[in-house]
Structures are given as C-alpha cells and as structure tokens.
Amino acid sequence: MKQLIAAFLSLGLVLGFSFNSFSNADAASKVKTYKNCATLNKDYPGGVARSASVKNKGGKTKYKPYVSKALYDANKKLDRDKDLIACER
C-alpha cells in the first residue's frame, strides 16, 4: 500500500513539472515580432536592447532602449548595425 501511494505521488510530481514546463514554453513563444522599426518604436520608442550592458555604436540617442533578450531575439532582423539594439532612436 505504501508503495502504491509513493508511486501516485511521484507520478503527480512528474506530471506537475511537465505541465509547468509546457506553460513556460508557451509564454516564451508569445513574444511579439514587428514588421519594421516604425511599428516597434510605437511600443518601444528607444528600441529594444538584448542586455543592459550593450553600448550603442551610433552615438548618442534620444531615448533609452527597453531591455529584453527574448524580444530582441524575436526582432533581431531589425538591428541593421548589429550593435545588439534593434531600432534605437
């Protein structure tokens, strides 16, 4: 009887962790991709940086970029100067 209870508890833990990892994967896949910089800049006026330590190659900008690795990776094609900040202004 104890083995049966232990088996059910183990199964419950395994299934609980499995469903939790699926929900995290769904959240990561819901990152918005933008068609061009004009549409991205409507939501993020300073653009999107991959990390907070990234420096802009183009010099001084008017706005501070929003930092998000997932959002930057989804919109990497919009980073024309390859400085890890997409659509900086």
Every domain of the chain and the residues it spans: 1-30, 32-89
Of the candidates 53, 56, 55, 47, which has an alpha carbon nearest to the alpha carbon of residue 76? 47
Q: Report the chain's mean pLDDT, rounded to a whole number.
A: 84
**pTM reported for the whole predicted model:** 0.66
Q: Which two tokens stand for residue 77?
A: 């094609």
**In this predicted model, what pLDDT tens digit does every residue of 2-35 receive, in sequence order?**
787 777 677 776 767 666 555 555 555 689 999 9
In Å, how far are 17, 31, 50, 63 from 84, measured between CA atoms? 34, 17, 6, 16
